[in-house]
Amino acid sequence: APSSNYSALTALVLAKLKADQTDLEGARYYLQWVADHASQASLKDVARLHLARVLLAKGDSAGALQALNAVDAKTFVMPVQELKGDVFLAMGKRDEARSAYSAASAALDKNADHSRLDMKLAEVGAGGKGAHKARPTQAKNGDMHPASVDGGRGFGCAAGE
């Protein structure tokens, strides 16, 4: 294990660079390294979350679930549950996806923006927090696809996560 977290932080940056270059295998390598070697549990968990996104993008739903199941679910309830919903949806398990998205939505502060989760809940046939006032919207450039590598949340950002 590295004597400091600099190696792990460097590997997270390298993983982001690889993902930005659509080199998902390279990103997977660095994220797996952090998950295996980081000295701080929180860095391992951040790496596992991003690793799950990369594995999902590569079509490895089972690997993505395995990575998510190793994350401290109490600390990362919302992102773990949202990503589990994405994985279940990719596997065609709509009921499990709905349950995971609902758990993610419940973990958010009531004043937080629920729009992304509301869209995902609507996709699996459930209303989210804002469902009573939701109206159909056209997908935009920022449309969230379940297999997006970073989920629009700043892939690889170790300092703020």
**Alpha-carbon gap, residue 11 to 159, rounded angstroms:** 13
pTM more than 0.95: no
**Structure confidence by residue, pLDDT tens digits, 39-91:** 999 999 999 999 999 999 999 999 999 999 999 878 899 999 999 999 999 99
Torsion 84-85-91-95 (CA) sign: positive
Count of residues in the chain: 161
**Mind listing the pLDDT tens digit for each residue in 8-47?**
999 999 999 999 999 999 999 999 999 999 999 999 999 9
Distance CA 82, CA 104 (A): 5
The alpha carbon of 71 is separated from its chain's Cα centroid by a whole number of angstroms, namely 11
- Which is nearest to 150 in space by CA: 68, 71, 61, 79? 79
Q: 84-118 in b/e burial notation, b at 16+ Cβ within 10 A?
A: bbbbbbbeebeebbbbbbbbbbebbeeeeebebbb
What SS3 class is residue 99?
helix
**Per-residue confidence band for 138, with pLDDT thresholds at 50, 70 and 90:** very low
| Per-residue CA distances from 40 to 73, 83, 107 (Å) | 16, 22, 24
Cβ pair 120, 82 in contact under 8 A:
yes
Question: 44 near 7, Cβ under 8 Å?
Answer: no
